[in-house]
A and B are shown apart, each in its own frame.
Chain A
């Protein structure tokens, strides 16, 4: 056999193994600890897994499904516990094939490579509530958003909207009807508006596509009402997107998203491209609209303070997984997962000057080759041998939150250790 032939044969073999492995990863629960976790979730320990529980019991006994309880505060707090989920996702997975082109891969004797962008994510969002996903770039937030609105196909897992598994909605009419009930707002209000269309046409487009309104006069009236609702004037409808500032463009995007009276909005970093004074305008608008229209939000942001302001419940993501999920107030007042604590310690604070250099360490690793065991272990001050070998699964704590961390489970994360991470680690 020539060298090339041997390389080819070996690569093919590795390829097959990689495909098998990847299929295992993406279509079945993973091997080892993860599988145990997933099996535990499936075989009855439903309290560990509200989303699963919700699937079974949503209609019957929503109060028992308890996403972490929301504490009362100065701001309006929706009782996420009482609200039946409008949407839940269960063990959602999405892997991207990031292999190099076939020939290059073969010559370099590389196996096929998969990037597990979303790796077993489950959460439920109560009707009228805001659930936030937070985490640093690349942790999989946008992929979750895109899976939910159907821009990506999940490799595994379920998305259930108002009691219907969206994958099982087959007929195109029904599918379109379902689609019109949720909408997405993107980060970049520049890229998501057609520059050659007048604003009124942009906003009317979804109304026409879904055929909710056929009479032109009625469409015009609806567009004018939408413009008013987002704080623009009806006369703005005659202008083109370039005539507006970034904040005004995001208002146009919101008006378009609301055109078909959706119940559910997926907002992917809706204010990350905006200045803070304009961000405040948009966040205020979104909360007003939520109150007025009873909207349910999946709100995605890398900015913890914005998430704190907007969300009732928060999921913290790291490398494709949720590591902590809790009521917003509980999460920010008493973060438990070491990554949540690190994120909080990293936020510049108006009062905490001269924080130690080492409160935050390391960088997010390459997601194609995530660390073994708990993928946070190279950066975690509490990591031990178990952490390096075994991936933790989400477990519910006394206060109803769920945390995926061995140290928390073993009680090794004392308050003192927590305080230390939050302020200064030497």
Chain B
């Protein structure tokens, strides 16, 4: 199904850099197919940070992996489109996908060692990546590598450039990975839980760095995290995922201030915040369903305090809900909502 309103939420009015439409990802099994992502749609504008938030198993990483062509078999894209600057990339294979990866879309993982080769110095890896993707001489590439290491806050880059990944601390390694992601000047960076393994004080520095550099380089970012606080501080817009679907999407300030979807509301209330003293945290009973037991209708209905009969049978699409859009029958237009739906 087409979702015409989504583009309204973009920072700019022109063609989005990334457009994901009705994405469906499946894992075929001997006994039936598991549908891991179902009808996921969103856009990211140039220079925009889209936060993707949700609890583990929501489908955040799979969404990122599908975009950059790193779904692990038997996982496969079973439907929908992924457009980069208007050009379909979901069907790219082999060499074409590899050229795109690193050059136009870069990836940052939770564990920096995923992106770093332990056998090469960080300088060699930066230079290698630049020579693969950019038209540079080796000397110019090394020059640029030095500048990048400096830019990401590596002290004494002239010495550190010849060090191996294991000689860096976790936080410094993640800085190197950011340099590596930025070195071919990609248009989009997909960062999957880039600070989850780091201590809070290091996390704050890495997030600030990522935000500053992407703004300077006008790089769009898809920031995947389970941490709503990180999203609130970093993202322009946020997509909230639950059980393989986007259940709410909108400007981050609005979603944080006035979440529309019952799941987002529950999620926000469940997070202890420093400023507020509450006797009890908002509690969403139950847990995220497993893929082989996704409830009918609205997948959130067994945990939702506002579920009605309709929620159990009919699946809601994203609907305008105040300043955001939410996949919830509470926001169905009134005339659709007369036959026993929630008020």
Closest residue on chain A to residue B204 by CB atoms? A346
B residues near A355, Cβ cutoff 8 Å: 204, 208, 233
B residues near A344, Cβ cutoff 8 Å: 274
The answer to whether A348 touches B280 (Cβ under 8 A) is: no
Complex CA–CA separation, A346 to B233 (angstroms):
11
Is the CB of B56 closer than 8 A to any CB of chain A? yes
Is the CB of B119 closer than 8 A to any CB of chain A? no
Is the CB of A277 closer than 8 A to any CB of chain B? yes
Is the CB of B200 closer than 8 A to any CB of chain A? yes
Complex CA–CA separation, A277 to B281 (angstroms):
9
Q: When the two chains form the complex, which single residue of B204, B232, B272 contacts A359, counting CB atoms closer than 8 Å?
A: B204
Is the CB of A360 closer than 8 A to any CB of chain B? yes
Complex CA–CA separation, A305 to B270 (angstroms):
11
A residues near B267, Cβ cutoff 8 Å: 276-277
The answer to whether A280 touches B270 (Cβ under 8 A) is: yes
Closest residue on chain A to residue B231 by CB atoms? A348
Determine the interface band of chain A, counting residues with CB < 8 A from chain B: 35 or more
Mark interface residues in A51-91 (1 if CB within 8 Å of B CB, else 0): 00000000000000000000001111000000000000000
A residues near B207, Cβ cutoff 8 Å: 348
Complex CA–CA separation, A276 to B229 (angstroms):
12
The answer to whether A276 touches B270 (Cβ under 8 A) is: yes
Closest residue on chain B to residue A275 by CB atoms? B55
Instruction: Give the Cβ gap from A193 to chain B, nearest Cβ, in Å.
Output: 17
Instruction: Give the Cβ gap from B74 to chain A, nearest Cβ, in Å.
Output: 23
Closest residue on chain B to residue A361 by CB atoms? B205
The answer to whether B284 touches A287 (Cβ under 8 A) is: no
Q: Beyond A283-B272, A304-B274, A357-B212, is A364–B199 a contact (Cβ under 8 Å)?
A: yes
The answer to whether A343 touches B200 (Cβ under 8 A) is: yes
B residues near A361, Cβ cutoff 8 Å: 205
B residues near A284, Cβ cutoff 8 Å: 280-281, 283
Complex CA–CA separation, A349 to B201 (angstroms):
13
The answer to whether A281 touches B200 (Cβ under 8 A) is: no
Which residues of chain B from 241 to 294 have any CB-CB distance to chain A below 8 Å in the complex? 256, 266-267, 269-274, 277-285, 287-288
The answer to whether A245 touches B277 (Cβ under 8 A) is: no
Mark interface residues in A331-351 (1 if CB within 8 Å of B CB, else 0): 010000000001111111111
A residues near B285, Cβ cutoff 8 Å: 281
The answer to whether B208 touches A279 (Cβ under 8 A) is: no
B residues near A342, Cβ cutoff 8 Å: 201
Closest residue on chain B to residue A71 by CB atoms? B277
The answer to whether A347 touches B280 (Cβ under 8 A) is: no
Complex CA–CA separation, A345 to B274 (angstroms):
11
Instruction: Give the Cβ gap from A330 to chain B, nearest Cβ, in Å.
Output: 13
Instruction: Give the Cβ gap from A308 to chain B, nearest Cβ, in Å.
Output: 5
The answer to whether A302 touches B212 (Cβ under 8 A) is: no
Which residues of chain B from 308 to 323 have any CB-CB distance to chain A below 8 Å in the complex? none
Mark interface residues in A288-309 (1 if CB within 8 Å of B CB, else 0): 0000000000000011111011
Complex CA–CA separation, A132 to B76 (angstroms):
46
Complex CA–CA separation, A351 to B256 (angstroms):
9
Closest residue on chain B to residue A279 by CB atoms? B270
Q: When the two chains form the complex, which single residue of B204, B212, B282 contacts A280, counting CB atoms closer than 8 Å?
A: B282
Complex CA–CA separation, A355 to B212 (angstroms):
11
Is the CB of A170 closer than 8 A to any CB of chain B? no
Q: When the two chains form the complex, which single residue of A75, A76, A287, A353 contacts B232, counting CB atoms closer than 8 Å?
A: A353
Complex CA–CA separation, A220 to B253 (angstroms):
52
Complex CA–CA separation, A287 to B281 (angstroms):
11
Is the CB of A352 closer than 8 A to any CB of chain B? yes
Complex CA–CA separation, A350 to B268 (angstroms):
10
Is the CB of A23 closer than 8 A to any CB of chain B? no
The answer to whether A308 touches B226 (Cβ under 8 A) is: no
The answer to whether A306 touches B272 (Cβ under 8 A) is: yes
Is the CB of B203 closer than 8 A to any CB of chain A? yes
The answer to whether B226 touches A275 (Cβ under 8 A) is: yes
Closest residue on chain B to residue A245 by CB atoms? B287
| Interface residues of B, Cβ cutoff 8 Å to A | 55-56, 169, 171-172, 199-205, 207-209, 212, 226-230, 232-234, 256, 266-267, 269-274, 277-285, 287-288
Q: A136-B199, A284-B280, A343-B200 are in contact. List 15 more A-B contacts (CB 8 A).
A: A75-B277, A277-B267, A277-B283, A279-B270, A281-B283, A305-B274, A308-B272, A309-B272, A345-B204, A355-B204, A359-B204, A360-B201, A360-B205, A364-B199, A364-B201
